[in-house]
Chains A and B, each alone.
Chain A
Amino acid sequence: MSPILLIAVPLGLAFIIPLLALVSRKLSAYVPAVGMLFNLVVSLYLLPSVLSKPIVVRTAGFAPPFSIHLVAGPLGLLLAGLVALVGLLVAIYATGYIKEGSVPRYHALYLLLLVGATGIVLTGDLFNLFVFFEILCISSYALVGYRGDKAGIESAVKYLIQGAIGSSLVLVGIGFLYGAFGTLSMADIAGNIRSVRPMTVFISMAFVVTGFGVEAAIFPLNAWLPDAHSSAPSSISAILSGIAIKAGLYAVARVLFTVYGAETFLPFILVLGLLTLLVGEMSAFSQNNIKRLLAYSSMGQMGLIVFALGLASAAGVEGALFLVVSHGLAKALLFLSVGYMIYRTGSMEISSLHGMAKKMPVSSLCFTIGAFSLVGLPPFIGFPGKFMVVRAALEKADVLYTVLVAIALLGTVVEGAYFFRIVQGLYFKPAPEGAVAGAGGGREAPFSALLPACVLAVAILVVGVCPHILTDYLGPAASDLLDKAAYIKHVLGV
């Protein structure tokens, strides 16, 4: 089985959706779920076999560095699996949640977004990275504005402006590299990076990192995020937070670690991560809009992940990858469970969610599990992540790192403060009087929404109790990112 199917099958399905919609609109809504189920099975099936050596897929019979090629290593497949898992669950959620507007177009764009994310993590050359990145970005611009209301369009346009600038910076940066090396294969460039004037390399790196950094939500490039996350439909917010920004971060990490091998730049990345964390958590603290709050919290979590990557040690990268998964699951769960609460009350104000546990007990429980996990409380999945990151920082046995990690932990205390307040609101505060009942009054969310939420909640609990389900793959995945020589050797076959 070839990893290329992970891209080809969903891409094909995405184009079938509009055609299928002509026959049955209802049926077309299930296509993304089918595509992602396929991806999930394939990536989990392939994952054990790539732990020692990645599968390199060539196209048109040319060997790298001359062709478009995919490098399905442990990291790529792990992230592809995460994309597929969250994508599948959110797709199931969307079958019931997305009712208005041109539904087939939503599903087609949604699948394209996931194709973009999968492509980013699997590709082996820079230009393809850019192309998939654009697929991801363009479909997410469209999806943010899907509802067509004023707020949606406004934030979609803002997102579009910033995203487009980011993409063009990436393109310029890649152009520098192509001009200098005459190749676009990441492995090839990585192998010859020392042969070019360092300043040229740095300028190109500055462009590429800034460009990808926009999507990766690194401070100060992340201003699009709160608007886009809060105006998009909840299912899309879940994907943006759970998947899209992770794909951006993967792109940043891949170019930094593999292509540029920029070890000296990483301490700066670490500081940026810390800033992102603090700014995100501080901005989230007094938010009244639940989706904006979750968006800022995503920013904060991304900061923690970037911080861990900036530690530039195997333990740090493993911790970062664990957090990528744990945050992906937990934040998707939060957006999904909050989605129907907003739908039912017709308001995104936190105060309108008070007393929700009486009316929507399962959704509230799921929200609580997601929130506890994000704060890093055992026995949920967030705890091993936080544990690994702190351990990685303290392994440096350096007072500076101890102080930095203490600051990062203060960020998580702030995060705890606002999440605990919301949980109290859900369970222990009286429902607001004269609450404007949105669609469906005070009923629990439908089965199509509860199923994915419960699956995520169970996954959060199970991996939290048995983290080795995940950590077994993190070692190879981290060395996939850190061990540049092995990457070059595997891809170029020398």
Chain B
Amino acid sequence: MLPAIILITAFGSAGAVYLAGKVHPRLRNGLAVLSSLVLAGLVGYGYGQKSELVTISDFLGVDLVLRLNSLAWFFAIYIVIINAGSVVFSLSYMKGKERLDFYYSMMLLVSAGMLGIVLSGDLLSFYIFWEITSWSTYLLISYRRGPALHAGMKYIIMSLIGSCAMLVGILSLYGTFGTLGIPELRAAISGCSPGYALFILLTMGVAFGVKFAILPLHTWMPDAHSEAVSPFSAVLSGVLVRMGMYGFLLIMYSMVGLKAVLSLGSGVLDFHYLFCWLGALTIVIPTFIALLQNDAKRLLAWHGIGQGGYMILGMALGTSMGVAGGIFHTINHGSYIALLFLVVGAVEYRTGGVRDLNRLGGLIKKMPVAFVGCLVGIMGLIGIPLTNGFVSKWLIYKTLITEGHPFLAFMAFVGTWGTILSVYKLLHNMFLGQLPEKYKEVRKSPLSMQIPILFFCLVIFFFGIFPGIPLRVIQGIQGTMGFAPLRLTLWGLASDAGALNMLNICFALVIAFAVVFLLMRLGPKGRRVAQHDSYAAGSFVPVDKYHYTVEFYNPLYRMISPYLKDRVDQFYYWIAHRASDIFDVTRKIYTGYAGTYVLYIVSFLAFLIFVQLVWRTW
């Protein structure tokens, strides 16, 4: 019953919030927060439960099934928590904006759709919820107007192409096996030919790849993420995109099966090996493109793509530790990227919509909580010890090394290097350096923004220090997919190739901090000076010239930017333009002269009779 209750609550609250907004805005906001929390509670309550429920039997010949299992629960809790954080953040961020009834209702609808995706027990319900999520996301991206309209179109068209491919895959499965239930398919599919398995993986993989923004299907993402309103960017990048991950896990390991996936193809043309390389490319190229961005949200959006590469890399390796790393990295990424989008949103909110990194700076004293959030977020993104990103990346690196993939490992390291460079730019250009004159009056972020920011910071450290807790859940998921269990402890895990113990690392770091702190206290005291009290060789330097964040990394930029054009995007635009030219030519068939039209009719008749007379075709 629980999955049905969760979904009814989720979809019901999306509608109720809209109606409540017609009564009073306060009621609407309250209801939105309340229902997000209730949903989080309901999903949390479902921990460890397993249930299956036929909701509608014989919907177009298929039984629609909802089911709750460890994989569904894991993704569900992740969806509701990030959604709840974003809804709370929206309270002040969205204040005074137009069409808020629509906004809140769509926020809840998107998360309801995603909950539907993960709670589906058959591929038809999966597809239905997938599409509901797609169109509601399109509406919500478009909400911001202006350039967001273009982003929304790009998203929905790519998404439609993906879902058409998925529909073909799903219905081909139905045609072959006569069922769409995931457990039934799992049993049926094991005996099918490798070619067919590849066909299924590819058709459905296109849909998941578009949503996941894996290279070369990523082009919608930078636009959509930067143009959406910030709380929704957090949801978009944190969870919605990761529905693709869920999809990959579902088809690769829950349906086709570990063994079949690993034995697909041979030699260099090994399916999972090629998939790994796709993941590695998805790490490197977008991460360095991120380095070139000056728009804070665009920078994060490109990181969203790049970090996805780690998840794919971990997942496609197909070993216990790799897949665990991939899944763990998914939620870790969700927590810190959501945090970073919220931080950027907070800065945007207080500075009047500025997210251009060349025009910010020095906000550390004005917005301390946002600074802390940003610092923790980028630590997670880089994967510094004590944050959750460290653990999941450790798992992935470890697997790459023990499995003997030095080149892949190198790509992953290069990705981290690019990450460090580009997120330092984010932190520095927003919070460090000189405070521009016009931001003297900036106030700290409101409480409803601080709460989710601090909450996500806590999550990042908690999962970083006690990785055993989430990994235990992940292990449960892996058990259902036929992976060997990992040797977990609360603080990390043991393995033949070296153990991970966060307790030790924690101690080491605490001691190191203590030593540094002591040395600082023992040494001579520094003298605090005013911001402009500096030596400029006798010539007066205007205050704004102190702001040295402009054109950060300029030499590096000039060096690498020619290699990092998004040619895939250009290629898609080229196709779109050519297609639209062809469409215009096609339209000329209808000339507007009745004479031509009569000619069409008569020649059609003549054609039919001619063909039959000559060839006797029909």
Bound CA–CA A199/B148 (angstroms) = 60
- Inter-chain contact B618/A468, CB cutoff 8 Å: no
B586 interfacial contact with A, CB 8 Å: yes
| Smallest CB gap from A421: residue in B | B153
- Inter-chain contact B601/A158, CB cutoff 8 Å: no
| Shortest distance between the CB of B130 and any CB in chain A (Å) | 9
Bound CA–CA A402/B612 (angstroms) = 28
B573 interfacial contact with A, CB 8 Å: no
- Inter-chain contact A412/B164, CB cutoff 8 Å: yes
Q: Chain A residues with Cβ under 8 A from B582's Cβ?
A: 282
| Shortest distance between the CB of B197 and any CB in chain A (Å) | 16
- Inter-chain contact B175/A391, CB cutoff 8 Å: yes
Q: Chain B residues with Cβ under 8 A from A158's Cβ?
A: 594, 597
Contact of B584 among A169, A213, A286, A468 (CB under 8 A): A286
User: Which B residues between 156 and 186 are near A, CB-CB below 8 angstroms?
Assistant: 156-157, 160-161, 164, 167-168, 171-172, 174-176
Q: Chain A residues with Cβ under 8 A from B583's Cβ?
A: 282-283, 285-286, 414
A459 interfacial contact with B, CB 8 Å: no
Q: Chain A residues with Cβ under 8 A from B153's Cβ?
A: 417, 420-421, 424
| Shortest distance between the CB of A391 and any CB in chain B (Å) | 5
- 12 pairs, CB–CB < 8 Å, chain A vs chain B: A161-B594, A165-B598, A209-B608, A214-B601, A223-B590, A226-B590, A282-B582, A283-B589, A285-B580, A286-B587, A387-B171, A391-B174
Q: Chain B residues with Cβ under 8 A from A406's Cβ?
A: 164, 168
- Inter-chain contact B60/A424, CB cutoff 8 Å: no
A202-B618, A383-B131 are contacts. A388–B60 as well, Cβ < 8 Å?
yes
B605 interfacial contact with A, CB 8 Å: yes
Contact of B175 among A161, A378, A395 (CB under 8 A): A395
| Shortest distance between the CB of B12 and any CB in chain A (Å) | 14
The 0/1 profile, CB within 8 Å of A marked 1, for residues 60-72 of chain B is 1000000000000
Contact of A379 among B132, B156, B160 (CB under 8 A): B132
| Smallest CB gap from B576: residue in A | A417
Known: A203-B609, A390-B167. 12 other contacts (CB 8 A): A157-B594, A161-B598, A162-B601, A207-B605, A210-B608, A213-B604, A220-B601, A283-B590, A387-B124, A388-B60, A420-B157, A467-B59
Question: Chain B interface residue count: which class?
Answer: 35 or more
B58 interfacial contact with A, CB 8 Å: yes
- Inter-chain contact A279/B586, CB cutoff 8 Å: yes
A residues contacting the other copy or chain, number (CB 8 A): 68
A384 interfacial contact with B, CB 8 Å: yes
| Smallest CB gap from B156: residue in A | A420
A202-B618, A383-B131, A416-B157 are contacts. A427–B142 as well, Cβ < 8 Å?
yes
User: Which B residues between 539 and 597 are near A, CB-CB below 8 angstroms?
Assistant: 580, 582-584, 586-587, 589-590, 592, 594, 596-597
User: Which B residues between 360 and 403 are near A, CB-CB below 8 angstroms?
Assistant: none
The 0/1 profile, CB within 8 Å of B marked 1, for residues 280-314 of chain A is 00110110000000000000000000000000000
B600 interfacial contact with A, CB 8 Å: yes
- Inter-chain contact A379/B128, CB cutoff 8 Å: yes
Bound CA–CA A375/B132 (angstroms) = 13
User: Which B residues between 393 and 428 are near A, CB-CB below 8 angstroms?
Assistant: none
Q: Chain B residues with Cβ under 8 A from A488's Cβ?
A: none
Contact of B60 among A414, A429, A467 (CB under 8 A): A467
- Inter-chain contact B152/A424, CB cutoff 8 Å: yes
Bound CA–CA A280/B152 (angstroms) = 24
- Inter-chain contact A262/B618, CB cutoff 8 Å: yes
Bound CA–CA A224/B600 (angstroms) = 11
Bound CA–CA A371/B56 (angstroms) = 26
Contact of A428 among B134, B142, B171, B600 (CB under 8 A): B142
A282-B582, A390-B168, A413-B164 are contacts. A210–B605 as well, Cβ < 8 Å?
yes
| Smallest CB gap from B603: residue in A | A220
Q: Chain B residues with Cβ under 8 A from A166's Cβ?
A: 601
- Inter-chain contact A429/B145, CB cutoff 8 Å: yes
- Inter-chain contact A402/B172, CB cutoff 8 Å: yes
- Inter-chain contact A282/B587, CB cutoff 8 Å: yes
- Inter-chain contact B171/A390, CB cutoff 8 Å: yes
Q: Chain A residues with Cβ under 8 A from B134's Cβ?
A: 377
A471 interfacial contact with B, CB 8 Å: yes
A409 interfacial contact with B, CB 8 Å: yes
| Shortest distance between the CB of A431 and any CB in chain B (Å) | 12
Q: Chain A residues with Cβ under 8 A from B89's Cβ?
A: none
Bound CA–CA A283/B59 (angstroms) = 35
Q: Chain A residues with Cβ under 8 A from B161's Cβ?
A: 410, 413
The 0/1 profile, CB within 8 Å of A marked 1, for residues 113-151 of chain B is 000000000001001100110110011001101001100
The 0/1 profile, CB within 8 Å of B marked 1, for residues 202-218 of chain A is 11001101100110000
| Shortest distance between the CB of A30 and any CB in chain B (Å) | 34
Dominant secondary structure of chain A at its interface with chain B: helix
Across the A-B interface, give the 4 residue pairs with the lowest CB-CB distance, nearest first.
Answer: A223-B597, A409-B164, A206-B608, A282-B583
Q: Chain B residues with Cβ under 8 A from A375's Cβ?
A: 160
| B positions within 8 Å CB-CB of A | 56, 58-60, 124, 127-128, 131-132, 134-135, 138-139, 142-143, 145, 148-149, 152-153, 156-157, 160-161, 164, 167-168, 171-172, 174-176, 580, 582-584, 586-587, 589-590, 592, 594, 596-598, 600-602, 604-605, 608-609, 612-613, 617-618
Q: Chain B residues with Cβ under 8 A from A20's Cβ?
A: none
Q: Chain A residues with Cβ under 8 A from B59's Cβ?
A: 467-468
- Inter-chain contact A413/B149, CB cutoff 8 Å: no
Q: Chain B residues with Cβ under 8 A from A161's Cβ?
A: 594, 597-598
Q: Chain A residues with Cβ under 8 A from B605's Cβ?
A: 169, 206-207, 210
Q: Chain A residues with Cβ under 8 A from B127's Cβ?
A: 378
- Inter-chain contact A394/B172, CB cutoff 8 Å: yes
| Shortest distance between the CB of A399 and any CB in chain B (Å) | 10
Residue of B145, B171, B176, B580 most packed against chain A (CB within 10 A): B171
Q: Chain B residues with Cβ under 8 A from A202's Cβ?
A: 609, 612, 618
- Inter-chain contact B175/A220, CB cutoff 8 Å: no
A207-B605, A378-B131, A467-B60 are contacts. A410–B164 as well, Cβ < 8 Å?
yes
Bound CA–CA A186/B528 (angstroms) = 101
Residue of B172, B174, B592, B605 most packed against chain A (CB within 10 A): B605
- Inter-chain contact A283/B596, CB cutoff 8 Å: no
| Smallest CB gap from A202: residue in B | B612
Q: Chain A residues with Cβ under 8 A from B149's Cβ?
A: 424, 428-429
| Smallest CB gap from B590: residue in A | A223
Q: Chain A residues with Cβ under 8 A from B609's Cβ?
A: 202-203, 206
| Shortest distance between the CB of A392 and any CB in chain B (Å) | 9
Q: Chain B residues with Cβ under 8 A from A397's Cβ?
A: 175-176
Bound CA–CA A424/B168 (angstroms) = 28
Q: Chain A residues with Cβ under 8 A from B580's Cβ?
A: 285-286
Bound CA–CA A213/B263 (angstroms) = 52
Bound CA–CA A397/B582 (angstroms) = 31
User: Which A residues between 135 and 181 are near B, CB-CB below 8 angstroms?
Assistant: 157-158, 161-162, 165-166, 169
- Inter-chain contact A378/B604, CB cutoff 8 Å: no
Q: Chain B residues with Cβ under 8 A from A66's Cβ?
A: none
| Smallest CB gap from A468: residue in B | B58
Bound CA–CA A428/B143 (angstroms) = 6
Bound CA–CA A282/B579 (angstroms) = 9
A31 interfacial contact with B, CB 8 Å: no
Bound CA–CA A157/B598 (angstroms) = 13
Contact of B586 among A214, A283, A386, A405 (CB under 8 A): A283
A221 interfacial contact with B, CB 8 Å: yes
| Smallest CB gap from B132: residue in A | A378
| Smallest CB gap from B56: residue in A | A466
Bound CA–CA A377/B56 (angstroms) = 19
Q: Chain A residues with Cβ under 8 A from B148's Cβ?
A: 428
Q: Chain B residues with Cβ under 8 A from A447's Cβ?
A: none
The 0/1 profile, CB within 8 Å of B marked 1, for residues 370-381 of chain A is 001001011100
Bound CA–CA A384/B584 (angstroms) = 31
A268 interfacial contact with B, CB 8 Å: yes
Bound CA–CA A7/B608 (angstroms) = 35
Q: Chain A residues with Cβ under 8 A from B613's Cβ?
A: 199
A15 interfacial contact with B, CB 8 Å: no
- Inter-chain contact B171/A391, CB cutoff 8 Å: yes
